[in-house]
Structure 1
Amino acid sequence: MPVHQKHEIVRCERCGSPFECKANSFTKCQCAKVSLTLNETQYVSEQYDGCLCAGCLMALKEEFAILLNIR
């Protein structure tokens, strides 16, 4: 019997790992675990168009913080 999934399985645009995207239930999506400021969100959206896994969002958040300290 095939397994029916409620949400789409997508690949992270940054690392390629698969994860369940819950865009229609955003508060339950794995990406909602990473809180981004408006500037961090803009930084991410300037580099990527699609969904990113929580691990990559956290890495980009840290990368942005490092860039702010360099400038």
Structure 2
Amino acid sequence: MANKKGKKNGAPIQVVIPNLWKGLKVGEMQKTNELKEVLELVTNENKRLEEIIKQMMQEITFLRESLLSTVMKLEEPINA
């Protein structure tokens, strides 16, 4: 989660993606069950990232609605 300082200076949200291939020898894995394990790791990481994206989309929707509400409130005195 970004800290307040990061939000103030417009720093993007950073998501750490682990290097799943580091130290893996694909040629040797084909002889073992490791490819299945790597596939499970990638699938789990994909699910985790999908959840992060879902949460970000919810935050964006909330912020968009809040901004629209604020703009509408600011517009009311002008039209009154």
Q: Structure 1-normalised TM-score?
A: 0.30
Larger radius of gyration: 2
Which has the higher relative contact order, 1 or 2, with Cα contacts under 8 A spaced 6 or more apart? 1
Q: Structure 2-normalised TM-score?
A: 0.27
Q: Which structure's residues are more often strand, by fraction?
A: 1
Q: Which structure's residues are more often helix, by fraction?
A: 2
